[in-house]
Amino acid sequence: MGVYNTYGNTQLKINEGTLKEFKIGDKVDISDGVYVGHEGVVVIKEGKMTSEFDNLTTKWGSVVTPEEVLQKHHPLRIIR
């Protein structure tokens, strides 16, 4: 199953360690990037959590929900 840390309101799976909670401005233990979880989207830059969003937005202004991203890349969907 795995261990999930909480980044703001968003839970992200980590491979090992203990459960930790982070808020904006905290140093984190994952690489820089944009992470999508069921609860939202988290941005990590220079080793710190910089922001959290409910949804993503395309360059044309359309809203993309985390659910749309996760379902498209869900492992069970891929093997069908």
Summarised one tens digit per residue, pLDDT across range 10-33 is 999 876 667 899 999 999 989 999
pLDDT along the chain (80 residues), means of 10: 86 80 94 94 97 95 92 69
Distance CA 5, CA 42 (A): 12
Q: Which domain holds residue 16?
A: 3-78
Q: How many domains does the chain have?
A: 1
pLDDT for the residue 29: 87
pLDDT for the residue 14: 76
Q: Which residues lie below 8 Å from residue 16, measured CB to CB, with a gap of 6+?
A: 3
